[in-house]
């Protein structure tokens, strides 16, 4: 009986430490998984890059009426931009507000800069081609700061909304012939934008924005009697973003 009891004690002395060691290993494995998951869900550093398309709006997209011929330097297009669908690239930094536990609240502030490029509509470009003349294009550089809110339904999907204001710089490229071009001055105006979209795995986003690009003066870059006109500019911008 004593031998059986001693054997039982010895068995327990061997089995219990082994079980404890196995449980300890399981805890460490669970901690590693939790750490790995936390690292996977850790917010990005806040920098994003985007590409997209720009659909002009307001006078920016309006077609000039009753224009039978183009005369570079005479502003025959008037206050109509005659701009067609273009392209955009952009860079943004977002600062995320965190709670006391260091977790994201979903709220944040951002600063963003974009470059929009829009050529003239086909009908206007053909009029320039008729007189073998270079047609101008539009380059807008809006810089905005504002507020962003993101709501995540899981680590793989979320929705966001943002709004901001700042300044837009317009540059209308030169038009005319070689050695006889009409150039335009840079012009700055108040700008604002709002957007909504979705984000996948905190890495790729899709968004739709509306930009009020301001009321810009189109001024010829010359000292002797330069012509000038004004144009209200807006744009719908659709972006594909990559977040880091």
pLDDT at residue 9, as a whole number = 42
Where is 6: in which H helix or E strand?
A: helix 2-41
Which pLDDT band, with edges at 50, 70 and 90, does 2 fall under?
A: very low
The residues that bridge with 10 in the sheet, in sequence order, are none
Backbone φ, ψ for residue 190 (5° rounding): -60, 140
Section 121-139 average pLDDT: 90
The secondary structure of residue 75, as a DSSP letter, is: T
Per residue in 4-59, pLDDT (tens digit) is 434 544 554 454 445 445 545 555 454 554 444 444 444 567 999 999 999 999 99
d(CA 52, CA 89): 6
Q: Is 111 helix (H, G, I), strand (E, B) or coil?
A: strand
The domain 43-243 is placed in CATH, from the list 2.60.40.650, 2.40.160.20, 2.60.40.10, 3.40.50.720, at 2.40.160.20
Average pLDDT over residues 89-115: 94
Q: DSSP for 167-193, please give it.
A: EEEEEEPPEEETTEEE-B--EEEEEEE
């Amino acid at each position: 009986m004593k031998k059986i009891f001693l054997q039982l004690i010895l068995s327990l002395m061997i089995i219990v430490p082994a079980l404890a060691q196995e449980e300890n290993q399981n805890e460490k494995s669970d901690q590693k998984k939790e750490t790995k998951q936390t690292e996977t869900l850790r917010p990005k550093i806040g920098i994003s890059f985007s590409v997209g398309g720009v659909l002009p709006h307001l006078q920016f997209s309006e077609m000039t009426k009753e224009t039978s011929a183009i005369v570079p330097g005479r502003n025959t297009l008037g206050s109509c931009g005659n701009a067609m669908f273009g392209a955009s690239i952009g860079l943004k930094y977002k600062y995320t507000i965190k709670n006391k536990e260091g977790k994201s609240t979903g709220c944040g502030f951002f600063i963003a800069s974009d470059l929009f490029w829009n050529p003239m509509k086909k009908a206007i470009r053909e009029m320039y081609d008729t007189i073998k003349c270079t047609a101008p294009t539009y380059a807008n550089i809006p810089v905005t700061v504002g507020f962003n809110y993101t709501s995540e339904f899981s680590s793989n999907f979320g929705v966001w909304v943002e709004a901001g204001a700042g300044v837009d710089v317009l540059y209308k490229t030169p038009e005319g012939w070689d050695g006889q071009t009409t150039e335009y001055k840079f012009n700055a105006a108040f700008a604002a934008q709002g957007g909504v979209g979705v984000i996948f795995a905190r890495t790729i986003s899709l968004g739709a924005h509306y930009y009020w690009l301001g009321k810009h003066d189109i001024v010829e870059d010359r000292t002797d009697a330069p012509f000038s006109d004004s144009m209200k500019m807006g744009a719908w911008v659709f972006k594909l973003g990559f977040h880091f």
